[in-house]
A and B are shown apart, each in its own frame.
Chain A
Amino acid sequence: MLADPQAFQIRAADATDLEQVIALDERVTGTAKEPYWNELYTRYQTRRPKERFFFVAEEEKDDNSESIVGFIIGEVRAWEFGSTPCGWVFAISVDPATRLTGIGTALFDVISESFKKVGVHTIRTMISHKNHELLSFFRSEGLTAGPYLQLEKELN
């Protein structure tokens, strides 16, 4: 189902959005992490801003006020793990009440275009294999298993 194009708009995040972004993230993940978000926003504004993207989806409510119903964050990373430059998406979230209305796809489309404009033609992310909903979302956007395997070890 496609969302009503008038129902929401995608734009670059600004400082006034942070409070709602933090609240949405806490609602979805169950963890409040205000210092993380403040540090991330500052980093995105001040360092390599042309290769870092932070977009929000904003919905107009019945009383004409606006609320943030989704966000996506990503950046160009080069030569990590021997990889040529690629666009990493490391956060995406949509308000559970507005899912399956096209907001996630619209956010993904905007960040994909932004990566293309700076010369990047591969988009990459990492998802817990227990997060079926998010895995399904990225699959539906055309992402498939990439050439890397993520490995880790518990340090005792």
Chain B
Amino acid sequence: MKLQTASRLAIYAVLELAGNPDRQLSAAEISDKYDISTHHLAKVLHTLGRAGLVRSVRGASGGYTFSGNAKRTTLLDIISLFEPVDAMQMDGMEPGEHTSEGLALRSVLTEIDEITQATLNSITVSTLLKQAASKTAVAQE
């Protein structure tokens, strides 16, 4: 599965903000770390703000904070703000799907979609932060 850039940026932003609950981070601070476009990230943060996942604080020392529940917010919640995850159901009939061969192919692709959705819906922000911390520990050994 390949994520659209906006989804990837959103996940990084949420991880960064949720992982630093005592700090307000600017878009530039986050984009520096991941080497991504600040302009694109600002747009993504705006969408995350409208979804209630981040809050922006104005002022000289302003920035963004995570305002969701890290134990409840999943990768699916974030990604589905930027791209359809349930592609098979979103797109309706594909060419050839009126045939038995097309239906057989569709059922295989639906299987894959269901596993993808279940996986994305089972990984919370908190779990991904834990996984990232264990990778940091391995990298430092």
A: residues with CB less than 8 A from B are: 100, 129-130, 132, 135-136, 138-140, 142, 145
Contact = CB atoms under 8 A, between A and B. Distances in A.
Contact of A136 (B115, B117, B127, B130): B127
A139 B131 CA distance: 10
Contacts of B124: 136, 139-140
Contact of B118 (A100, A135, A140, A142): A135
A140 B43 CA distance: 30
Contacts of A139: 122-124, 127
10 tightest A-B CB contacts, nearest first: A129-B118, A135-B122, A140-B127, A139-B122, A139-B127, A136-B122, A132-B121, A136-B124, A139-B123, A129-B114
Contacts of B121: 132, 135-136
Nearest to A134: B122
B7 interface: no
Contacts of A132: 74, 118, 121-122
Contacts of B33: none
Contact of B115 (A100, A129, A138, A142): A129
Given A130-B118, A136-B74, 18 more contacts: A129-B117, A129-B118, A132-B74, A132-B118, A135-B118, A135-B121, A136-B121, A136-B122, A136-B123, A136-B124, A136-B127, A139-B122, A139-B124, A139-B127, A140-B127, A140-B130, A142-B130, A142-B134
The SS class assigned to the A binding surface is: helix
B126 interface: yes
A145 B118 contact: no
Q: Which of B114, B119, B122 counts the most chain A CB atoms within 10 A? A: B122
A101 to B, nearest CB: 12
B71 interface: yes
The SS class assigned to the B binding surface is: helix
A100 B122 contact: no
A17 B89 CA distance: 46
A146 to B, nearest CB: 13
A142 B131 CA distance: 8
A55 B118 CA distance: 28
Interface in B81-105: none
Interface in B61-90: 71, 74
Nearest to B119: A145
19 contacts: A100-B71, A129-B114, A129-B118, A130-B118, A132-B118, A135-B122, A136-B74, A136-B121, A136-B124, A138-B122, A139-B123, A139-B124, A139-B127, A140-B71, A140-B127, A140-B130, A142-B130, A142-B131, A142-B134
Contacts of B118: 129-130, 132, 135
B127 to A, nearest CB: 5
Nearest to B122: A135
